[in-house]
Structure 1
């Protein structure tokens, strides 16, 4: 298995402990949660079950379907046939009886996948699960229950941060993140897909390090051919993934998509008030829940732009897959089967690469800090957007404010060759430095830092940059 070394170590350690364990694994859909459990616990799962997708079902019919499906899982895995459960209390009682009957003293591992899908309206699922664990499960030293879910906000609200009967009952939590660039490189090598670092970064800009999407790559095709095959051909595998993604995670997918479509229009993101104005959603509890769900699901990040106060907190769309889809939605629906191959040098693609590379850098702050030699220094990442009194409309791609009295002013440039500083660009950087010096305290030094693909071309202006970070550094 590529990556996940710490997660594998943690899960095996928990399995070997002589105590009851309730483990919650969550993360973005398609990130590999089920695959992780299957690989780590191959041949060791006592009972497994996966919830049914709630898409397109009425609440009452879905509850019956979920209960029947749970019963069928018990039958298939060895329980004797009996009367079907009418509610979740009965369903978990059947599970308890089955586990007790086959208990030989060895570790019993129960794996419930897509747990949030089981919690249908008016089903009382959570109360029944609480009873199963509090009254029975937590007292059995040889029982380990692993639950997974792509609805991160549900896992966090109802399990990890539960203030009711399940308060502090989760014994361990794992948030599974997308692959880093280095892990993407390892994944492609493992699957005999030969790509340069330059192309791996572009694949990350599109697929966001999601293993499930990357698994579609054909080793015999180039990056451009693979992207056409995945998105632009008539029956492309990921052509409808954007809609499927939201329908499978959120109760109100259209509202979520509307917020993302607003956030997509400005790279720096918007304040909550601005989102309310642009979506038409009331600036109240409903919008709070929507934004919280998008943040916990890793589609959006919340941050305070440099120089602004807490009240100016911004929400920024950072999910590469969503950014790619929204940028090229019309092209994906256009019917041009070879759009990506035809437009590699087009202005639309070039502009997209520039903004997307900034997002890649935001997602690789630890690697940037390592390249700067400041891994152990407390650092906050932010950006600078145009202010009302800023006539030039200056925007700084990435700012790293460090506790050692240094501010790295990062310029992010995705180029096909070494980047060259021109006289005009040199003067622009000087003005930006002067602008930042006015914003920080007198102890802080502002250092211009270039993050680019291959390097910096030496000339009379190149000395403006104190630090140079390249693709190789992002793969650390």
Structure 2
């Protein structure tokens, strides 16, 4: 994140600092999708502490081993350590542990899945080194990886030789929404929300947007133009993470085109039901796809009434605007494609805005309503954008979310209809409040005076 200061990651840094302050050996697993900011986080954390940072590469295992030995030798200030012949990584790490004694040292092994890929025994060898020597020191060993599936199945899973050794783990997720404006000084709240609709909270993607340029110019130059970083990033990520990318592409295309039910996805892709079920489970685990059920659904209802959507904003945008227009974009017609897409993008932002308000942190900061359940509600063609339930106090907050500029008259109509829909939910004995979130809203003061709960992007500015 070279363009700006290190942004947020307060909870992650607290977790790492807490581990560092312990008197025992620590074995942490840090993982998350590419571009999420794992390396920047770890280097920021370790910058003022004794540490060794090693980045595994595609080179053969022995080459990686020699590079790790060189870095450890450099840290120790002992050229002879770098000339000793070590047969394997367990011998190297145990010798290093012997040399550092009781000193608190951080050893970061980044892109650990690449070592596994080139030499599967590295898992057992690392287990051996930990059990025999490292666990008796004050070392802080951090394994980091971008392949979520590899880190979960090879490092964290019950069958892994390393199972039971780790003292902590953290899956890095997106930068919280209210910190995104720090990447884009000078941008309005509306444009920040629109950028979020394209990049999500992925630091490397946010850094592609130049705050000195307008929103439209950034989209054309940095997302829709051939050769831009974000132009083919989705393809690159899917091909790297998944073994059968073509089938996953078909499923994501089906969802992006509006097919949200399991049967619709099966019919659209032509794939076997069992395969679609398996692929959807993988996409959910990776955080690319989500399955929603009505917030009041019973377990039995939840198994039948789920709707699938693309949870990751970058993938949602890419499959809706980049992939279907690839022929035009390859021909250099990015500006024309974007001009043609703007009206649909407004509709797309309606969905993005709704999901944004349903993020627990955003919802709580905006409304202050304490909830035990939060989500959408729908039944037989009727839908409520957001239903928050406080089951202990038997209170409910029902909210409609509109990416529109609403007059006071339009707002009243939406709120009155929300009262009607509340009768369909089945919360007869509950206390209820009704709310509306919009891009902009006339008559907020008057509506609030009457007991309605209303917010627009001006309120985001105050909460940020």
Whether the TM-score (by the shorter chain) exceeds 0.5 is yes
Q: Which residue of 1 aligns with 2:320?
A: 327
**Residue 52 of structure 2, aligned match among 30, 47, 54:** 47
- Mapped to 1, the partners of 2:296 and 2:18 lie a distance apart of 45
Relative to structure 1, the CA distance from residue 168 to residue 98 in structure 2 (aligned partners, 3 Å threshold; closer, same or farther) is closer
Q: Which residue of 2 aligns with 1:468?
A: 454
- Give how far 1:465 is off: 8.2
Q: Which residue of 2 aligns with 1:296?
A: 285
Relative to structure 1, the CA distance from residue 445 to residue 261 in structure 2 (aligned partners, 3 Å threshold; closer, same or farther) is farther
**Residue 372 of structure 1, aligned match among 358, 367, 379:** 367
Q: Which runs of 5+ in 2 are unaligned?
A: 1-5, 74-80
- Superposed CA offset, 1:213-238 (max 9, x none): 11223243112212222112342221
- Give how far 1:21 is off: 0.4
Relative to structure 1, the CA distance from residue 14 to residue 255 in structure 2 (aligned partners, 3 Å threshold; closer, same or farther) is same
- Superposed CA offset, 1:20-75 (max 9, x none): 1011112232111110001110153543322336xxxxxxxxxx724422322323
**Residue 92 of structure 1, aligned match among 90, 93, 110:** 90
**Residue 400 of structure 1, aligned match among 368, 371, 388:** 388
Question: Is 2:98 the partner of 1:71?
Answer: no
- Give how far 1:307 is off: 5.1
Question: Is 2:346 the partner of 1:360?
Answer: no
- Mapped to 2, the partners of 1:39 and 1:458 lie a distance apart of 43
Q: In 2, are the aligned partners of 1:216 and 1:230 still within 8 Å (CA)?
A: yes
- Mapped to 2, the partners of 1:173 and 1:395 lie a distance apart of 38
Relative to structure 1, the CA distance from residue 396 to residue 461 in structure 2 (aligned partners, 3 Å threshold; closer, same or farther) is same
Alignment of 1:195-206 (within 5 A): 195-206=187-198
**Residue 376 of structure 2, aligned match among 378, 382, 396:** 382
SS at match of 2:106: strand
Larger relative helix fraction: 2
- Mapped to 1, the partners of 2:142 and 2:318 lie a distance apart of 33
Relative to structure 1, the CA distance from residue 320 to residue 333 in structure 2 (aligned partners, 3 Å threshold; closer, same or farther) is farther
Relative to structure 1, the CA distance from residue 139 to residue 98 in structure 2 (aligned partners, 3 Å threshold; closer, same or farther) is closer
State the TM-score, normalizing by the size of structure 2: 0.83
Runs of 4+ that moved beyond 6 A: 458-465
Question: Is 2:326 the partner of 1:350?
Answer: no
Relative to structure 1, the CA distance from residue 98 to residue 422 in structure 2 (aligned partners, 3 Å threshold; closer, same or farther) is closer
Q: Which residue of 2 aligns with 1:279?
A: 269
Q: Which residue of 1 aligns with 2:400?
A: 411
Question: Is 2:34 the partner of 1:36?
Answer: no
Q: In 2, are the aligned partners of 1:299 and 1:319 still within 8 Å (CA)?
A: yes
- Superposed CA offset, 1:297-317 (max 9, x none): 222223322454131244331
- Give how far 1:19 is off: 0.6
Alignment of 1:45-444 (within 5 A): 46-52=51-57, 65-78=60-73, 79-81=81-83, 85=87, 90-100=88-98, 102-120=99-117, 123-140=120-137, 142-162=138-158, 165-188=161-184, 193-266=185-258, 269-271=260-262, 274-284=264-274, 289-306=278-295, 308=297, 309-312=301-304, 313-329=306-322, 330-331=324-325, 333-334=327-328, 335-339=332-336, 342-343=339-340, 346-362=342-358, 364-375=359-370, 377-384=371-378, 387=379, 390=380, 393-403=381-391, 404-415=393-404, 417-422=405-410, 426=413, 430=416, 433-444=419-430
- Mapped to 2, the partners of 1:472 and 1:161 lie a distance apart of 46
Relative to structure 1, the CA distance from residue 459 to residue 143 in structure 2 (aligned partners, 3 Å threshold; closer, same or farther) is closer
State the TM-score, normalizing by the size of structure 1: 0.81
Q: Which residue of 1 aligns with 2:3?
A: none
Q: In 2, are the aligned partners of 1:47 and 1:110 still within 8 Å (CA)?
A: yes
- Mapped to 2, the partners of 1:222 and 1:448 lie a distance apart of 36
- Give how far 1:208 is off: 0.4
Q: In 2, are the aligned partners of 1:232 and 1:339 still within 8 Å (CA)?
A: no
Q: In terms of mean alpha carbon deviation, does 173-182 or 330-339 score higher?
A: 330-339
SS at match of 1:166: coil
Q: In 1, are the aligned partners of 2:234 and 2:318 still within 8 Å (CA)?
A: yes
Q: In 2, are the aligned partners of 1:29 and 1:150 still within 8 Å (CA)?
A: yes
Q: Which runs of 5+ in 1 are unaligned?
A: 54-63
Alignment of 1:448-459 (within 5 A): 448-457=434-443
- Mapped to 1, the partners of 2:238 and 2:61 lie a distance apart of 21
SS at match of 1:119: helix
